[in-house]
Structure 1
Amino acid sequence: MYTFIFGVVLLIVGYFTYGKFIEKLFGVKEERKTPAYTSQDGVDYLPMNTPKNSLIQLLNIAGVGPIFGPIMGALYGPVAFIWIVVGCIFAGAVHDYLTGMISIRNRGAHLPELAGKFLGKFMKHVVNAFTVLLLLLVGTVFVTAPAELLHDLMNGWAAMGYIVGAIFLYYILATLLPIDKIIGRFYPIFGALLVISAIGVGAGMVFTGAPIPELTLENMHPDNAPIFPLLFLTISCGALSGFHATQTPIISRTTQNEKHGRKIFYGMMIAEGIIAMIWAAAGMSLFNGPTGLNEILANGGPAAVVSEASTIMLGAIGGTLAILGVIILPITSGDTAFRSARMIIADYFNYSQTKILNRLWIALPLFVISIALTQIDFTLLWRYFSWANQSTAVIALFIGSMYLYIARKNYWVSLIPGAFMLMATTTYILNASIGFGLSLRTSYIGAAIISVILIAIFFYAAKNTRTKDIALEEDVSKWSKTA
């Protein structure tokens, strides 16, 4: 119990200390007009207040990731708490803040455009394709997961096909309509339900004295469960998630002032970390250890764990409300995943999105592909999503590092977590059955070599950019200096 409570306290302290440090390092300029005003179009660019932006950002980034991932990560024991806390404060929240703020400084640009500017034109094309693929996987995963939860909640009263169809219909509307019509109007309500349900489960465990295990030297490394790299891909949302880099530009286009960035981007990642802590603790404490948790996961997946944990902690009515909150999570990330994909493709081809027909031409093919992907096994989709998700986080952290390097700022704050996750994702794809299937030892060696080479290339490119591309250096430095 103490490990869990101490971890939550550290997350909150991290917001007020390291979050403030990162904000000062970046250097906000309150007098600088944001894209919400300079590019206002009434569809994607328009100013919204900070509480609304914060709750929308939380729902955008908090899909089933900070619930399903930590539940599966609970199999590793209390060591999962370390990754959630350390990863969230020093990697995930830094990742989200830099992505959001650099996007604001670049007219609300999405990740591919930022990659093109800071990592080279070739990377723009690579990241564009990679990001759209990730968003399609996210959108598909976030159709299947809530559909299964709804199906179970209604005891099979409605067929899965009808539920999936209804979710897709909502996604189409949320993707095509101006952001303030559905997302801006209903997300604050959904956000409140999410927060209340998470607090309810967390408080229930604390006040009932749930046997949340403590971190010890003995359980630091679980038997037959290699922590590296699997833990760092299993628990992504809640610690570090590249999916967030695709979502923050949505809110960078509605943020009223740069000074709001720490609350919206860094703060909401901390909130997601707390949600992840709660569900990891639930997975560890409510099912008689890893054996009981494994049995439930084998029979019904993470959705079954959510349903049973909510009912145990909050009773029938409260549990139902909590489950509804969890259902809303993936739905409110799935719609913005498709919205982000539409915006990224539109930006790539410089295709105006003012007219709804223009939005429709881009969105429809995305939904057709996603419907086809729903026929693939969920577990397989999740594995590819996990790798693609963390690989995107590496790209975003390297973009942040390049930005800070050119601006002569402390780039290590993003390069260190970026290098760590580069090693983790490379090890995973070399070792995993969905990748190259090499032995773990060989994968470690191969990943180390690849990581060293890519980091060396980064420094070579960064030095050349700083010395040769004077216009880019002056551009970034001008924007990043404090007033």
Structure 2
Amino acid sequence: MISFLLCLVIMIAGYFTYGKFVDNIFGPDDRETPAVAINDGVDYVVMPQWKLFLVQLLNIAGLGPIFGALQGALWGPIVFLWITFGTIFAGAVHDYFSGMLSERNNGDSIAEVTGTYLGPTMKTILRVFSVVLLVMVGTVFAVGPAGLLVKLLTEKGVTGVFAQTTVWLGIILAYYFIATFISIDKIIGRIYPIFGICLIAMAVGVIVGIPVHGYHIPEIFSNFSNMHPSATPVWSFMFITVACGAISGFHSTQSPLMARCLKSERQGHFVFYGAMVAEGCIALVWAAAGCAVYEATGGLSTGLAEILQGGQSVAIYDVSVKTMGSVGVILAMIGVVICPITSGDTAFRSARYALADWMNFDQGSFKNRLALTVPVLGVGAFLGFGNTLGFLSYQVIWRYFSWTNQTLAMIVLWSAAMYLAKEHKNYWIAVAPATFMSAVSATYFVMAPECLGLIPALKNNTLVAYPAGIIIAVLFLGLFLNSAKKVTGNGKGQGRKTA
């Protein structure tokens, strides 16, 4: 328990110290924000700061910090360290800059922002990449909750039309269409803060319930080993698996939603950096629950591995019931049904933003908005109702999603570093996590079974993957420093200008 509490205190302290340090380097000022300057009543709408924080939290969270943290707990309490320091020095920095750079560029989607600082080729790549990723995420977060609702209803004896997955999928997609199309403050701005509070309440209930029900959170240093039952390497599998709980590129696709609703740049520290720290705290709670509730056998997380075989929804439900009782059943329903839906609709909305920026479509126009919403949701409906995703489980999707997700985070951090270099500011706050994530992504890509690890000789081959990851990270760092030297005029430009 001491290790958990210490990590929690460090993370919260990181918001007030390192988070403020990052904010000061960026230098928010009193310039007119896009929400005030453009204010189209649809996407650019001024919202109160507390709503911005809760909506941002729900947009970036969903099941991410729960599922990723539970999967990460398979490695044991050492996952606490990655969640804590990954959040402070990587994830929150990534989220802050993805939001603030979007705000500084008229609320542009992340592909456009990246192109501004890394060039047109990267912009084109990320345009395609982000739209495909967002539609896939939105579809998955429609199919999953629909199936789970049917399962829960049939267990309660419900039959007939409302016991059919296709019916619930149609209802969810219809809601997605409405939420994607109408003004952001009509549904998302009004309802999501409530769900954001529920997500926080769920985490508080779990962490209070752990000691109350006699469970004990193991300490890090007395269990400082790889406890994964399959002996899956910590590096870099754990860093990829715990995506949304430490750093997630998906967040960069969501941050422009709130970047278009800031009344003042000075809200960025609380809304973007703060929401990521809150998500990190939620992830830490669920990782602690995964380590505490289930027994370890021979120093391995066998109990957690067994429950996760039934799917992450089963594990979430089980943890909620064991730590919160009947109240946990209600909160678990919110967690495994509503939270994915709230991530799904903002994923489709972000896809519309990305396409609109790409095609230069004015989204204040009803016709233009409809012209993008229909095909985006149409593709989602085709994938959802067809057999395309029928063979995929959340676990399989998570493995494929996680690498692309962390790679996107890496690219966004390099974009932030280039912005800081051009502004003659301390770019190392972005360069350090960008280099680290370059090594993580490259290492995983070389040896993961779903990537180059398809080749038998490379599967989990750390002798090849570890050096390859280091070489690629050093190469990226060298390329950046060379570019930074050109834009600053010399090798010592960083730090001269702080505002």
TM-score calculated relative to the size of structure 2: 0.90
**CA deviation vs aligned residue, 1:38-57 (integer Å, no higher than 9, x gap):** 11111101111101111110
**CA deviation vs aligned residue, 1:50-103 (integer Å, no higher than 9, x gap):** 011111101110021101111111110001100000000111111111111111
Letter in 2 for 1:182: I
The answer to whether the 8 A contact 1:233-1:390 is kept is yes
The answer to whether the 8 A contact 1:282-1:309 is kept is yes
**CA deviation vs aligned residue, 1:156-190 (integer Å, no higher than 9, x gap):** 54222222222212111111111011111111111
**Aligned mates of 2:205, 2:264 — CA distance in 1:** 33
Q: Equivalent residue for 1:104?
A: 103
Q: Pick from 451, 465, 480 the counterpart of residue 487 of structure 2.
A: 465
Q: Pick from 217, 223, 226 the counterpart of residue 212 of structure 1.
A: 217
**Aligned mates of 1:334, 1:18 — CA distance in 2:** 31
**Aligned mates of 1:86, 1:278 — CA distance in 2:** 15
**Aligned mates of 1:461, 1:334 — CA distance in 2:** 37
Q: How far off its partner does 1:155 sit?
A: 3.9
Q: How far off its partner does 1:393 sit?
A: 0.3
The answer to whether the 8 A contact 1:64-1:142 is kept is no
Q: Residues 206 and 14 from structure 1, CA distance in 2 versus in 1: closer, same or farther, beyond 3 angstroms?
A: farther
Q: Equivalent residue for 2:134?
A: 135
Q: How far off its partner does 1:32 sit?
A: 0.9
Letter in 1 for 2:53: S
Q: How many residues align?
A: 473
Letter in 1 for 2:250: F
Q: Pick from 351, 362, 368 the counterpart of residue 341 of structure 1.
A: 351
Q: How far off its partner does 1:25 sit?
A: 1.3
The answer to whether the 8 A contact 1:313-1:319 is kept is no
**CA deviation vs aligned residue, 1:377-430 (integer Å, no higher than 9, x gap):** 123322111111101100110111111111121111111111111111111111
The answer to whether the 8 A contact 2:76-2:291 is kept is yes
Matches within 5 A, 1:74-113: 74-113=73-112
Q: How far off its partner does 1:18 sit?
A: 1.0
The answer to whether the 8 A contact 1:69-1:234 is kept is yes
Letter in 2 for 1:39: I
Matched, 1:235 2:226: no
Q: How far off its partner does 1:477 sit?
A: 11
**Aligned mates of 1:244, 1:88 — CA distance in 2:** 13
Q: Equivalent residue for 2:50?
A: 51
Q: Equivalent residue for 2:19?
A: 19
Q: Pick from 390, 399, 415 the counterpart of residue 375 of structure 1.
A: 390
Letter in 2 for 1:113: E
How much identity, in percent, do the aligned residues show? 44
**Aligned mates of 1:97, 1:80 — CA distance in 2:** 23
Matched, 1:195 2:205: no
Letter in 2 for 1:449: I
Q: Equivalent residue for 2:370?
A: 360
Q: Equivalent residue for 1:445?
A: 467
SS at match of 2:246: coil
Matches within 5 A, 1:260-279: 260-279=267-286
Q: Equivalent residue for 1:172?
A: 177
SS at match of 2:362: coil
**Aligned mates of 1:211, 1:231 — CA distance in 2:** 23
Q: Equivalent residue for 2:428?
A: 412
Matches within 5 A, 1:381-396: 381-396=397-412
**Aligned mates of 1:376, 1:418 — CA distance in 2:** 34
The answer to whether the 8 A contact 1:53-1:251 is kept is yes
**Aligned mates of 1:179, 1:28 — CA distance in 2:** 24
Q: How far off its partner does 1:467 sit?
A: 4.2
Gaps of 5+ in 1: none
The answer to whether the 8 A contact 1:145-1:303 is kept is no
**CA deviation vs aligned residue, 1:288-322 (integer Å, no higher than 9, x gap):** 23212111111x21110111111112212442234
SS at match of 1:215: coil
**CA deviation vs aligned residue, 1:93-152 (integer Å, no higher than 9, x gap):** 111111111111111111111111110111110111111122123212322333344334
Q: Residues 81 and 151 from structure 1, CA distance in 2 versus in 1: closer, same or farther, beyond 3 angstroms?
A: farther
**Aligned mates of 1:384, 1:134 — CA distance in 2:** 11
SS at match of 1:229: helix
Letter in 2 for 1:386: S
Q: Pick from 243, 252, 257 the counterpart of residue 245 of structure 1.
A: 252
**Aligned mates of 2:12, 2:495 — CA distance in 1:** 31
